[in-house]
Amino acid sequence: MFPTLFALGLVGGFVSGLLGIGGGIVMVPLLLYVPTALGVGALSMKTAASLTAVQSFFGAISGAIGHKRHKRISVPLAYAMGGSTVIGSLSGSIVSVYLTSKVLLMVFAAMAIVAAVMMLIPIQETGSEPEVEGLEFNKPLAVLVGLIIGTLSGIIGQGGAFLFVPAMLYILRIPTRITIGTTLVVGLASSTAVLLGRVGTNQIPYLMSAILIAGILIGAHVGSTMSQRTPQRVLRGILSVLIFLTALKISYELLLA
């Protein structure tokens, strides 16, 4: 199990740095299905959600450091969404202890489907992105989006960045690379609240988490470097495919349950 967790940490960390998400959209199904497929053990949805809380937190930290070097983080936007996200995430995380694994899976599936549908909406391609210092956005709307996504994220045990990315792109109209960098910071605020809620309710498997973190730190560094060299349309396409496939997989499992 430990080598498997380390390898999965590498994957989750790489996705965090490349696409600006905590990696939960990928990590939850990987934790649920890969160990079983390899015959090294099986993890429940509750355990997977708790490990993802840890993965999202450390993936966001490592990825954000990489994107900060390239000036892709909007501090005002991060502040606007981060505060309400923390409130929602902490509330959802505490409530999650009273929910069953099936309910958690249903919430995760619903979030993935919504994100997948949003990513199918075409957006206007532009040449060069504006400087992050001159970015303008709707602040009240940003606060509301942070509160809603934060609450749902707390329930499923991850930063919810796979929802923040399409929300920033299609609702707030934020440029792609700034979206990716800023989402990591907002996701960090959300992931911190989620992690605190899980720790406070004694839901974290610490030894497995430590193995996962070792892989995350390496993968996120590589991913953030690759993100700056990848075309915007390709980044959006990869994220769209990941979200869509995960939504299909989780929905299928729900039908069989």
| CA-atom Rg of the chain in angstroms | 17
pLDDT at 136 over 90: no
Measured between alpha carbons, how far is residue 59 from residues 41, 62, 129, 151, 196 in Å?
24, 5, 25, 20, 16
Distance CA 6, CA 10 (A): 6
pTM score above 0.85: no
At a CB cut-off of 8 Å and minimum separation 6, what does 98 contact? Answer: none
Report which residue type is found at 116. A
Query: pLDDT at position 178, please?
Result: 84
DSSP category for residue 229: T
Domain extent listing, the chain: 2-256
**Each residue of 164-204: pLDDT tens digit?**
888 888 889 888 778 878 887 777 776 777 788 888 888 88
Match 């053990």 to its residue by tokens.
Answer: 41
